């Protein structure tokens, strides 16, 4: 899988899977400097962490998630909309082989589930 394909698949996963979105949120939050975390703002232009427009809200989400272990449904909707923008950053900081295996493993599982459901439906109609 090319890096571009990996980023594209990861964007889809981040937009549609709460578990992946939350893990990415925490990962990007960890890239913020301590000062940026305290101020809930982007201070340094270092190419990692949250962008200026996302810093306040996503830092707030990350600290709440770490304290409470969950976000509200409304917060999750906002997160799923914003976190795919960070897919390139996640890929650049990850073991791409492991990431690709995780993405492809999930794809194969979904494909197998759909095939099993189709087979069950076909046998039920017979």
Report the alpha-carbon distance of residue 53 to residue 78 in Å, rounded: 13
Q: Two tokens at 42? A: 């982007």
| Residue 16, pLDDT above cutoff 50 | yes
pTM above 0.75, yes or no: no
pLDDT-based confidence at residue 14 (cuts at 50, 70, 90): very high
Burial 82-106 (b: 16+ CB within 10 A, else e): bbbebbbbbbeeeeeeebbeebeee
Give pLDDT tens digits for 70-94: 999 999 999 999 999 999 999 988 8
Residue carrying the six token digits 């980023």: 7
Q: In the chain, where are the structural domains located?
A: 3-116
């Amino acid at each position: 899988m090319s890096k571009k394909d990996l980023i594209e698949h990861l964007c889809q996963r981040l937009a549609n899977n709460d578990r992946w979105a939350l893990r990415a949120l925490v990962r990007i939050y960890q890239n913020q400097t301590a000062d940026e975390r305290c101020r809930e703002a982007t201070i340094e232009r270092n190419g990692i962490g949250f962008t200026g427009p996302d810093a306040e809200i996503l830092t707030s989400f990350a600290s709440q998630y770490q304290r409470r272990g969950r976000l509200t449904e409304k917060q999750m909707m906002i997160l799923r909309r914003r976190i795919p923008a960070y897919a390139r950053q996640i890929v650049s900081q990850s073991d791409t082989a492991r990431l690709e295996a995780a993405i492809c493993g999930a794809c194969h599982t979904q494909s197998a589930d759909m095939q099993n459901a189709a087979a069950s439906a076909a046998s039920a109609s017979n």
